[in-house]
Amino acid sequence: ADPLLKIFKRTAVLIDSVASSGGPAANLRALFESQRLCCRIFYSLNFIDLPAFFEDHMAEWMTEFQKYLTLKYPVLEEGDGDGLTLVDELRAAVCENISLYMEKFEEEFQGYLGGFVEAVWNLLVAASASSSRDRLTVTAIKFLTTVSTSIHHTLFARDDILQQICQNIV
């Protein structure tokens, strides 16, 4: 698991560097695909049980996961549809990972929950307007559904939440 975290963090640094310097989309494409694959491996390694390594390094993973849900990558997102699809695939993989943690490791994950609910909510409002972003929309809705049916349902207790769901998502 340690080599996976090292690759994930090193790739994150490279993404940040290329994105902040306005590097070419081609350079980011391979990095985003690498991160998506790391997310899939993360999911597989955590599917049955929460390994001690992942519990010990949860903050490192969750910090990067939240970053991918909140940051914009204009060089990819504003170009052709292929770049946006690549970003959305990484975000969908992140949503699957946090859904897994919410479903199976809620106690360990709860400290990160509020930030992820807000990040996924904002992402969902933006993504649901486009039918080409269906996979991201479905994984985001799955995460929010898991949270809303848990003991953390009070995160959705505000009066305007149902109205926002109807106006922005449905």
Q: What is the structure's pLDDT at 146? A: 87
Q: What angle do CA 5, 99, 83 make, to 5 degrees?
A: 65
Mean pLDDT of all residues in 76-94: 87
More confident residue, 6 or 161: 6
Q: Within 13 Å and on the Cβ side, how many CA atoms surround 68?
A: 32
Contacts of 12 (CB under 8 A, 6+ apart): 35, 64, 67
Q: What is the mean pLDDT of residues 78-90?
A: 84
Region for 118 from its dihedrals, namely left if φ exceeds 0, alpha if ψ lies in -120 to 50, beta otherwise = alpha
Whether residue 170 has pLDDT greater than 60: no
Q: Quick count: other Cβ atoms within 10 Å of Cβ 46? A: 19
> How many structural domains are present in the chain?
1
Residue that wins the pLDDT comparison between 95 and 127 = 95
Average pLDDT (30-56) is: 97
Q: What is the pTM of this model?
A: 0.89
How far apart, in whole angstroms, are the C-alpha atoms of residue 142 and residue 151?
16
Q: Residue 97: is it exposed, middle or buried by C-beta count within 10 angstroms (0-12/13-18/19+)? A: buried
* pLDDT tens-digit map of 120-163: 988 888 876 677 788 898 998 898 888 887 766 666 666 666 66
Closest CA to 151 of 107, 119, 117: 107
pLDDT at site 163: 65
Binned at pLDDT 50, 70 and 90, residue 90 comes out as very high
- Residue 132: the pLDDT is 73
Contact 45, 55 (CB under 8 A): no
The mean pLDDT value of the chain amounts to 88
> Looking at residue 103, what is its pLDDT?
94
For residue 53, which amino acid is it? F
Give the structural domain span for 104.
2-169
Query: Is 7 in a helix, a strand, or coil?
Result: helix
